[in-house]
A and B are shown apart, each in its own frame.
Chain A
Amino acid sequence: MNQYPLWKYLLIGSVIFICSLYALPNLFGEDPAVQISPPYARDVKIDDSVREMVAAKLTELNLEFKEIEMTPERLLVRFSNTDQQLLAYTELLKALPGYIVAQNLAPATPSWLIALGAKPMYLGLDLRGGVHFLMAVDMKSALVQDEERYINDFRNVLREQKIRYRGINRLPGESGGIRLSFSDAELREQARKFIAKDYSELMITEFDGTDDYQLHLQFTEKALEENRQQAVEQNITTLRNRVNELGVAEPIIQRQGTDRIVVQLPGVQDTARAKEILGATATLEFRLTEGDMQAWQEAQSSGRAPVNARLYQRRDGAPVLLKRSVIVTGDQINDAASTIDQRSGSPATVVRLDSKGANRMLETTRDNVGKPMAVVFIEYKTETSVVNGQEVKSRKKVEEVINVATIQEAFGRNFQITGLTSAEAHNLALLLRAGALKAPMEIIEERTIGPSLGQENINQGLISVMIAFLVVMFFMFLRYHIFGLIANVALMLNVVVLVALLSLLQATLTLPGIAGIVLTLGMAVDANVLIFERTREEIANGNSPQNSITSGFDRAFTTIFDSNLTTLIAALMLFSFGTGPIKGFAITLSLGIISSMFTAILVSRGIINYFYGNRRLQRLPV
């Protein structure tokens, strides 16, 4: 009676063994480390030469390091204390220009555990310090930009198709759209046919004006959805590149919901700089100028520009007319770097275009040698204005011409922009390298945790878990004696299983998550309490000890199952709606319920069967 077959013991044993193995990495702590990754956008890999350079530099500084790990993506140098790490960081930053050097805490998990795929839990920002941003993508501006791009396109293709149009512009009003106007219905019909054939993403409605024939174009719902997707995805890519520039170890950048992006930067303290780089929505456009100085002055005084041109301001406030068609935009830039112009000795930014941009640039410059070309710098800023006593936030597009230069010769893929200060050249290079944001973004939530607070949170969390643990064990022993001790063993294993599950899932451990673990500890004994109470009852009803064990376990099972499942429902609901801290709490709570069912029912039964099963017992120590 009360015997588990051998396979059951083996099963329980192996589950516990495997869980212990995967919980193990959490005991090794972390090494302060410096991480070196290759610069973005140049196809450079980390190789032995970088490794040797770093090793030589450290030897030269007399800096002891634990080890250097190398993968093609990064080089990691581990140190035994933070002083060494800081010194190495500042020195390597100087020694490796162009490479991204970042301070990092690298898990000190032994390699045999890593080979098994065992990793420590991922600590949330509230435990390690760092910044968390939630950003909202401004879809309205993205739509406006898309429509402007289409308008540009139509200008070119309608001319190529020899379809004469009278005007093309954005429809005023909330819903937006594009308006094409023609002088007769014949031309309009030609244009309609052509657009319907090649632009399935646009809905076309015909509209007769007072003296013209119009086509109104709107994006279909499907196209809008695709644009939204694309905007968010491109922004994520851009943010990744910018974060790389910041030199952050292990950043997290994820989409959340339809138009939100979460950015987490562990260990970053200079939030001002982080915000500046992440939020900057700058891009460039290259356009040819229109007319001469005189025409520019006239346009400024009259406020009217010729049909095919727009009036821009230069940095010094001087006017300039630029052609409406854009040669190359910022998203066709592959790489950029700040440099010193050889001829004039002034700061400059070197730009490299992708093949599409290079072809356009080559065509344009070949046909326009000797004519001036302008570089327009575009930035989005949020402005608050008061309208009818209501404060209204609006995004403003600030465009300024940073440089007008004569095209000396035809060029394509590589060229440089002059007329900048050295800081500007540097920042512009950074922003161009990191790509343009497809749509402007706004930070709608920010949480920054200083490193000292993170350390405090971890310490307090650990102390709470320990003390809670002791308190629970003490009371279980008091009430259930030897069986209480068995329940305590199950409880300890419960924590091991829980930690192993959290590590395996690479769930993020947060302070509320630790609170969830503590709460689980209190509730986990409930299953054992139910079983032992039932066993006592059976004994009081005059059953034999062995029978009491059996029925205690069997009859408590339905109760445990029902009560735990309902709690699990609540935890899953928490998980489904929650973000960040709530999710962390829900994860630990649900995993805690599952692991406590396993340990309280199977493990404690196994121990009891092993020691008490199949014997003649006078009484039970419960």
Chain B
Amino acid sequence: MFNFLHRFDYNYDFLSKRKIAVAISAFLFVVSLLAIGFRGLNFGIDFTGGTLVEVGYTQAAELENIRTRLSSNGFSDATVQNFGSSTEVLIRLGIHEEYNNEQLSNRVLEILKDGGVEVQMRRVEFVGPQVGKELVEDGGLAVIYTLIGILIYVAFRFEYRFAVGAIIALVHDTVITVGLFAVTHMQFDLTVLAAVLAVIGYSLNDTIVVFDRVRDNFLKMRKQSVEEIVNRSINQMLGRSVMTSLTTLLVLIVLFLLGGELIHGFATALIVGIVVGTYSSIYIASVAALALGINRNDLLPPVKEGADQPPQREIDQP
């Protein structure tokens, strides 16, 4: 079972299967885009504005009863569901203009306490509509700025084709991760957005490690074709990719199982993102860089003039 733990001399021919991989990726990518476009995301109140109330009961809560009470008091848009256990209830409401922001949550708690049952307030969140709008804008901008910053750094450290390859992989990972949320209609809230941005960081980390080895091998392996070099590099880094992804994934599974309800979306997004990110660092990033035509000459250190002379040491006179 732990065979992989002791091997480190892999020799798979990854690139020969690249057509299949690209086809699968393209399919997932398009499905994700369509889902995001047509089905849309189930945005949490962080983005849409609205009110969320989480309460705890001493016994199992009667959801139907809560629904009726809320709708007879003018909250017909309330969604009422169990949250984590049968005694805990999560109520979500849209924007209610007829109440002052400060009164809305109080009102909901009053209605719940009306039945004379013991209700414990666990959490109230109210987000005004303008705050949500700003968040959508800021979040979108943050993603774009992050991509641009990374593009510049990678182009500077490697070469522009690598940078483009890395960005293609990043967009691929981000879209598929978000796409999953669109397909399953899991709630997309602030923590999920943070997770998506963390996926960008992680997936990039993976991609850079592979690229770094490709750059190394270009300088070392003078006789092989570009394709062979890329293949070799991926194989050399496979042990590391599997090991790091595995530890990170296990840690996230722990978070998913034990971190509580509030962290679920976050953990889910990262688990998906890391699986996709590891795969894309092998296939998408390198294949993209290959397709763009990376070659040895692009990465050779520029020959400096006068490099054949021994460097002149300058000695400062104190």
The segment out of B25-33, B74-82, B251-259 that lies at the interface is: B251-259
Contacts of A452 in B (CB 8 A): 56, 120, 122
Report the bound CA distance from A570 to B150 in whole Å: 8
Contact A512 B266 (CB under 8 A): yes
When C-beta atoms are compared, the residue in chain A nearest to B100 turns out to be A382
Contact A578 B130 (CB under 8 A): no
Contact B145 A522 (CB under 8 A): no
Contacts of A540 in B (CB 8 A): 8-9
Contact B240 A567 (CB under 8 A): no
Supposing A468-B250, A479-B243 touch, asked if A450 and B212 sit within 8 A by C-beta, the answer is no
Contact of B120 among A134, A450, A512, A515 (CB under 8 A): A450
When C-beta atoms are compared, the residue in chain B nearest to A533 turns out to be B240
Q: How many A-B residue pairs have CB under 8 A?
A: 228
Which residues 446-463 in A have Cβ within 8 Å of B in the complex?
446-450, 452-453, 456-457, 460-461, 463
Contact string against A for B residues 176-203, beta-carbon threshold 8 Å, 1 for contact and 0 otherwise: 0000000000000011011001101110
Report the bound CA distance from A443 to B102 in whole Å: 7
Contact of A450 among B122, B202, B255 (CB under 8 A): B122
The segment out of A47-55, A85-93, A524-532 that lies at the interface is: A524-532
Contact A523 B205 (CB under 8 A): yes
Report the bound CA distance from A581 to B120 in whole Å: 24
The segment out of A7-15, A61-69, A558-566 that lies at the interface is: A558-566
Contact of B127 among A445, A453, A457, A521 (CB under 8 A): A445
Contacts of B153 in A (CB 8 A): 565-566, 569
Contact B142 A574 (CB under 8 A): yes
Report the bound CA distance from A522 to B206 in whole Å: 13
B270 beta carbon closer than 8 Å to chain A: yes
Contact string against B for A residues 573-614, beta-carbon threshold 8 Å, 1 for contact and 0 otherwise: 110111001100110010000000000000000000000000
Contacts of B5 in A (CB 8 A): 475, 478-479
Report the bound CA distance from A472 to B252 in whole Å: 11
B290 beta carbon closer than 8 Å to chain A: no
Report the bound CA distance from A559 to B123 in whole Å: 44
Contacts of A525 in B (CB 8 A): 243-244, 247
Q: What is the size, in residues, of chain A's interface with B at 8 Å between Cβ atoms? A: 77
The segment out of A35-43, A102-110, A192-200, A271-279 that lies at the interface is: A271-279
Report the bound CA distance from A503 to B252 in whole Å: 25
Contact of A570 among B2, B123, B200, B213 (CB under 8 A): B200
Contacts of A559 in B (CB 8 A): 208-209, 212-213
Contact A464 B202 (CB under 8 A): no
Contact A582 B193 (CB under 8 A): yes
How close is A467's CB to chain B, nearest CB, in angstroms? 5
How close is A541's CB to chain B, nearest CB, in angstroms? 11
How close is B273's CB to chain A, nearest CB, in angstroms? 11
Contact B101 A446 (CB under 8 A): yes
Contact B124 A471 (CB under 8 A): no
Chief secondary structure at chain B's binding surface: helix
Contacts of A564 in B (CB 8 A): 205
How close is B252's CB to chain A, nearest CB, in angstroms? 7
A511 beta carbon closer than 8 Å to chain B: yes
How close is A232's CB to chain B, nearest CB, in angstroms? 17
Contact B240 A530 (CB under 8 A): yes
A128 beta carbon closer than 8 Å to chain B: no
A444 beta carbon closer than 8 Å to chain B: yes
Contact A464 B258 (CB under 8 A): yes
A476 beta carbon closer than 8 Å to chain B: yes
Supposing A134-B131, A449-B123 touch, asked if A574 and B244 sit within 8 A by C-beta, the answer is no
Contact B266 A467 (CB under 8 A): no
B263 beta carbon closer than 8 Å to chain A: yes
Contact A446 B105 (CB under 8 A): yes
A391 beta carbon closer than 8 Å to chain B: yes
Report the bound CA distance from A559 to B204 in whole Å: 12
Contact B260 A460 (CB under 8 A): yes
Supposing A444-B131, A476-B247 touch, asked if A570 and B121 sit within 8 A by C-beta, the answer is no
Contacts of B154 in A (CB 8 A): 566
Contacts of A166 in B (CB 8 A): none
Question: Which one of B121, B142, B145, B243 has the highest number of Cβ atoms from chain A below 10 Å of its Cβ?
Answer: B243
Contact B124 A444 (CB under 8 A): no
Contact string against B for A residues 476-520, beta-carbon threshold 8 Å, 1 for contact and 0 otherwise: 101100000000000000000000000000000001101100110
Which residues 59-100 in B have Cβ within 8 Å of A in the complex?
97-98, 100
Contact B250 A471 (CB under 8 A): yes
Contact A443 B126 (CB under 8 A): yes
How close is A434's CB to chain B, nearest CB, in angstroms? 17
B125 beta carbon closer than 8 Å to chain A: yes
Q: Which 6 A-B residue pairings sit nearest by Cβ, starting from the closest?
A: A522-B248, A444-B128, A570-B201, A522-B251, A577-B142, A448-B124
Given A447-B123, A460-B263, A563-B204; 8 other pairs, CB 8 A cutoff? A445-B127, A450-B123, A460-B260, A479-B243, A529-B243, A533-B239, A558-B212, A578-B142
Listed by A's residue number, 22 A-B pairs whose Cβ atoms lie within 8 Å are: A136-B128, A442-B101, A442-B128, A444-B128, A447-B124, A450-B121, A450-B122, A450-B123, A453-B54, A460-B259, A464-B254, A522-B250, A526-B205, A529-B243, A562-B212, A567-B201, A569-B149, A570-B146, A570-B150, A573-B197, A581-B191, A586-B194
A residues with CB within 8 A of B: 126, 134, 136, 269, 271-272, 275-276, 279, 382, 384, 391, 393, 442-450, 452-453, 456-457, 460-461, 463-464, 467-468, 471-472, 475-476, 478-479, 511-512, 514-515, 518-519, 521-523, 525-526, 529-530, 533, 536-537, 540, 555, 558-559, 562-567, 569-571, 573-574, 576-578, 581-582, 585-586, 589
